[in-house]
Every structure is written in structure tokens, then in C-alpha cells.
Amino acid sequence: MSLTENFKNFNIFAKIVAMKNTQTAEVGIIGGSGFYKLLKKAGTVNIMTPYGKPASPISIGVIGTKKVAFLPRHGLKHQFPPHKIPYKANLWALKSLGVTKVISLTACGSLQKDIKRGDFVIIDQFIDRTTRQDSSFYNGPETVHISTAFPYCPVLSGLAYKTTKKMGIKTHSKGTLVVIEGPRFSTYAESAWFTKMGWDIINMTGHPEAALARELEICYCSIAIVTDYDAGISSKQKLPPVTLNEILDVFGRNVKKAQKLVTTLIHVLPDRYSCTCNQALKGAQL
């Protein structure tokens, strides 16, 4: 079934979801490595999508005046490695609940000396270095080319940066993310090349998540937490190569800060603002 066919039946599909689950949400939070919980006193919904089940049941609760849906992208037990995450199901499930805005939290490695462990980065561009084939909802027979020139919502991202500054969190207002296939980490040569190109941070999950959110016309903001220096930088500074334990340790020490950031951001999030994310499909179909 093509996405166009799915969208023709989307309202029906959404109504079926609503009938089975009375829960809805406006804001979606996708948690990264080490970020498996957010909401207290939350209900849980299990959603089946045209692309299978999402990575975990979705928690739905209230923050301030907003109904919020939370989903850990790797699953509750981190059972999905980056190249096996059900990205389509994750985004479709959130969309079917009525989510129009997604705030993504992700761990990342630094490719530049001035971006240090524990820093936050508001991502504004990505470089896709993956080989994933199933990275679009549009697989024919209709052909659709969305623009990802500016894949992240500028309004939501700008508000996220302002919120971090008010909270005193060291944050970079923009950054280019290199997305690698995974699950292995980069070689020294790969990492050194990324650094020489002037790119800022690196992870394994930024694509296709951002592009899929764009195809669903969702406002998408991604906040990266720097957990390590990538191989090219660590070698120059005579540091040991990155390990998963290091990533989880640094991310774990910043989870409470990230949780407070997300909560504060949702409290100040206006009900309406002007952006073009909800028109991403306009003029994109041949």
C-alpha cells in the first residue's frame, strides 16, 4: 500500500485508533539512548500502524496544558539498534494520535573541539551517510519529492534554544549532524574526514527520523546531547575510543537536565505559531 493510499484512508485509520484508544496528544517526545521515561501518571496505548508496531507502547500524559505522547525510539529495553528502529511506525503512531509537534532527544558524538561533553546542540542540518533503503513513506506508485533544505522546524528549534539559555544549559544554537549507518562507530579516517568537512556532531538515528516527520508535515525539533568525542578528535587529544558505556554514562548524567528542559519547553510552547512545516507536501507530488 502506498502512502498516498494510506493518506486517503488516514482519517478512517485515525478514527479507528481513536475508537480503540481514547487518548490523543498534541506534542510528541522521542527519547534517545538512556532516555526511556518522561511522564508521570501516564496512560499507555498500544498502536498498530500500516508499518507494524512502534518501538514501544506510547505513554500519554499532561505537561502544563499540553497532552504529550512519549516514545523511546530504541524501545523500553533498548532492544532496537539504530539500523533496526521502526522509524516509520514510530512517526506514524504519533501522527495518528494527533501529534503535530515532535521534540527529539538524542545522544551524539562531537566532531569539533569547541563542542564538549555535556553540551547541548540544537540541530539545524543533517548529512545522511547511511545506506538505509526504507527511508521514505513514498515508495510508489505516486512520486513525491519533499524539500529537506531546512528539515527542522525553525520556530520550535528557536524556542528550544531560548529555553536552554534561560535554564543556563551550555547549548549551541545550531549544528550539522552526520548520520552514520551503525551499529559500529566510525573509523578514525571517517571521523577525521567528517571533522575536516566542518560538520559538528555525529550519531546513528537522525535520519530518516527527521525526513519522515517532514513527510508527515510534523514540526520537528532535535536536541542533541554530546556524550563523547568521536574517533578523529579523541585520537588527536590522546583519548581512548568511544564506548557505549561512556555514551550511556554521560547521557545518564544529563537525563534529569534533559527532562527538565523538555518539561519547561512544553510549558512555554504556544498553542499556535507561524511556520511552514504543515505545508511540506504542498507542490511536492508529481
| Residues labelled catalytic | 228, 230
Convert 192-219 to b/e letters by CB count within 10 Å (16 or more is b): bebbeeebbbbbbbbbbbbbbbbbbbbb
The whole-angstrom separation of Cα 144 and Cα 4 is 9
Instruction: Give, in order, the Cα–Cα distances in Å from 201 to each of 41, 68, 112, 191.
Output: 35, 28, 7, 10
Q: Residue 30 in contact with residue 224, Cβ under 8 Å?
A: no
Please give the single-letter amino acid code of residue 207. Answer: H
